[in-house]
Amino acid sequence: MNNSQNRFCILLIFFLFLFLIYLPSVYSNEYYADINISIDESGFVTIQGTTNHPDLIVENTELYTSKKQSLWEFNITKKEVFSDFIYSLKLPRGSSLYSITSSSRFQIQADEDNLIIIGYGHNESFSLIVQYKINKISDDTSSLDINVLFIFVFLIIVVFIYLVYTIFQEKRRKIAKSDKKTEKDSDYDFRGLSSRQKKITKLLINSNRPLTQADIQKELDIPKAAVSRNIHALEIKGIIEIEKIGMSNLIRLKKK
């Protein structure tokens, strides 16, 4: 091998050595990102996920948002080239979009009351500018609570009215029964009767059927001799009449 070939080999090894040293530094400047971005109603931004960019992951920062009157703007622009990036941006609940400017392809999705912007790119800078407005959303939960409360109060009122009506009807029945009993009692003159004779007479009125002497004794708990004596007295006064059936006597009120 001559000297020129030796010099060529030495230069080739030297440049190969420099290339191997420079190669990691080239790849170290290539950024990547797979991140989820969320914005709350106050404009605070949280970015989570995986990236090798030094200042892309943040939590509760106002660095990327600004507000002019009712219009919000989210602006995240990284001039460095990203070999690959994918992002998901979730706007606050009830937001409506005004404009989107992006360095990459994107699509918009709706998740209940939230708008979600999903984008991705290759070998380009990462830039996303979104203008949006937050609309007021009626609180269905509060409305539901009011409806439930209204139904509960209504049911309580209905139950209360039913109970009052039931009690009133029961009192009317008792009064009617008492009036009926008084009306029956008024057909008979209790003057001149002893307390036991009055009890026997009222028992016959309320029973509305003939009773035996044993029945009267059992109902009023009066001695047998006293029952017999008072029945005989009532018969003499013309209030009752006695009908003998077999070994028993049937006592009934004398018809007026």
Report DSSP letters for 127-149, one per residue. Answer: EEEEEEEEPP---HHHHHHHHHH
At 77 the pLDDT is 92
- Residue 1 pLDDT exceeds 60: no
pLDDT value at position 247?
78
pLDDT at 74 over 90: yes
Q: Which pLDDT score, from 0 to 100, does residue 186 have?
A: 55
Closest CA to 228 of 212, 205, 206, 252: 212
pLDDT at 208: 83
CA angle, 149 then 155 then 156, to 5°: 90
Model pLDDT, residue 129: 95
pLDDT-derived band at 239, boundaries 50, 70, 90: confident
In sequence order, what are the residues at sequence separation of 6 or more whose Cβ sits closer than 8 angstroms to the Cβ of residue 95?
72, 114, 115, 132, 133, 134, 135
Report pLDDT for 187. Answer: 65
User: What does the pLDDT read at residue 137?
Assistant: 64
pLDDT at 23 over 50: no
State residue 2's pLDDT score. 59
